[in-house]
Structure 1
Amino acid sequence: MFYHNKSIFHPVTFFLIGIPGLEDIHMWISLPFCSVYLVALLGNAIILLVIKVEQTLQEPMFYFLAILSTIDLALSTTSVPRMLGIFWFDAHEVNYGACVTQMFLIHAFTGMEAEVLLAMAFDRYVAIWVLHSLPTILTSQVLVGISMCIVIRPVLLTLPMIYLIYRLPFCQAHVNSPFPTVEHMGIAKLSCGNIRIHGIYGLFVVSFFVLNLVLTGISYVYILRAVLRLPSHDARLKALSTCGSHVGVICVFYIPSVFSFLTHRFGHQIPGYIHILVANLYLIIPPSLNPIIYGVRTKQIRERVLYVFTKK
């Protein structure tokens, strides 16, 4: 049975088969996924708690860090529980509407993550190069405006995907698919209709994604220039270590996501399990690393965490 809407046939359910070729070791694969997810939940929850409790952490950096932790909690929770349900409870079936909703949330939160990483890079650039003007540049109104851009632009870019997906016909009532099929092109490729417009729109969306990456990279180039001018050798090493870890997290986020996007279009010879494992990296690894890199390694956060959990 199909859902019918003006000659457009939608499947009743998607049957998510997990990681094709590795079904026999799903239980073992679930252990690192679950561990990383728990780290993401605990780490981001602690960051949010500390920032909320400690009134001294009112700088723009901590404001953006709170937004990042919120997005990380949402992004990982949108994807990992479904994955663990497949691995642990054989919960393979998901109805069409839920699948499209999950697609929207994953793409929207991924876009928000890219936006907030850019905002944090800009904040560090302003703090280093125009330190004395920081309060006048990043005012409350500016922070609210940046926050609205972080949320609104990814949502506006993702909404047309829902319309495009609902316009696609499917030739089966129950569609078998690997996880995550909830990527836009992952769902589109399962249809029996023409998906050229989906590819074009996907390129349009990814251009904004790449633009964020370029602007983030430019910000860190200027930050690096400032770091190399520090008079103290130890200060340079410490700053380079911090910037290097930040850039590492950004690469972990961007490289798998761009790889997944390109693989859907050009990587037909890449084994499916490699594509799926790499695609899952940007959904679960950055949310677990961000609290460590941006939180524990930040002196103020580290001191506040120790204070909150050790004070009587």
Structure 2
Amino acid sequence: MTSHRNGSTEVSDFLLNCFVRSPNWQLWLSLPLSLFFLLAMGANATLLITIRLEVSPRELMYYLLSLLSLLDMVICLTVIPEVLAIFWFDLRPISFVASFVQMYIMNYFLAMESCTFMIMAYERYVAHLPSTRIPIHHH
């Protein structure tokens, strides 16, 4: 939707179009999408609970895995419910502010996820380096 004021165009809402226009296909695609969404949320929640209950708090890798699970949950919650709302209820309008917030969250959290993977890889690299101790000779 657009509104006109003084010869300029101001955007107030966007219409989100998913890749499928057929209502029958939308229903069939929403079933596996909702199952994958529930699986991702459940698996990440299980991982977070397991780490919290079972793991020594001094292990850096488990902090990073917890962070990765939280980031994954936020990313899933940012996009998938919106797509399911379009599929199930045809709720395609989204405000400019909501669209901006969604894009910001996606870009920010995907970058955080990439940095977390980089830190995890570096931590594993350092953990597997051979110990290089310099022998001390006493005279």
TM-score with structure 1 length normalisation? Answer: 0.39
Tell me which residue corresponds to 2:3: 2
When you count strand as a share of all residues, which structure comes out higher? 2
Tell me which residue corresponds to 1:27: 27
CA distance in 2, matches of 1:25, 1:69: 31
Q: CA deviation at 1:131?
A: 6.4
Structure 1 residues 57-136: aligned runs within 5 Å: 57-130=57-130
List per-residue Cα deviations over 1:76-131 (Å, max 9, x = no partner).
10000001000111111111111111011111111111111111111111111156
User: Structure 1 residues 125 and 2 mapped into 2: Cα distance closer, same or farther (>3 Å)?
Assistant: same
CA distance in 1, matches of 2:49, 2:60: 17
Tell me which residue corresponds to 1:41: 41
Q: CA deviation at 1:38?
A: 0.7
TM-score with structure 2 length normalisation? Answer: 0.83
Structure 1 residues 97-246: aligned runs within 5 Å: 97-130=97-130
When you count helix as a share of all residues, which structure comes out higher? 1
Q: Does 1:18 align with 2:18?
A: yes
Q: CA deviation at 1:39?
A: 1.0
Query: SS of 1:94's equivalent?
Result: strand
List per-residue Cα deviations over 1:288-307 (Å, max 9, x = no partner).
xxxxxxxxxxxxxxxxxxxx
Maintained 8 Å contact 1:3/1:11: no
User: Structure 1 residues 125 and 20 mapped into 2: Cα distance closer, same or farther (>3 Å)?
Assistant: same
CA distance in 2, matches of 1:63, 1:132: 27
Maintained 8 Å contact 1:71/1:109: yes
Runs of at least 5 residues in structure 1 that lack an aligned partner in the other structure: 134-312
CA distance in 2, matches of 1:132, 1:48: 35
CA distance in 1, matches of 2:48, 2:4: 42
Across the aligned residues of Structure 1 and Structure 2, the Cα RMSD in angstroms comes to 2.4
Q: CA deviation at 1:65?
A: 0.3
Question: What amino acid is the match of 1:11?
Answer: V
CA distance in 2, matches of 1:95, 1:111: 24
CA distance in 2, matches of 1:123, 1:104: 28
Residue identity (%)? 31
Runs of at least 5 residues in structure 2 that lack an aligned partner in the other structure: 134-139
Q: CA deviation at 1:3?
A: 8.1
CA distance in 2, matches of 1:58, 1:132: 24
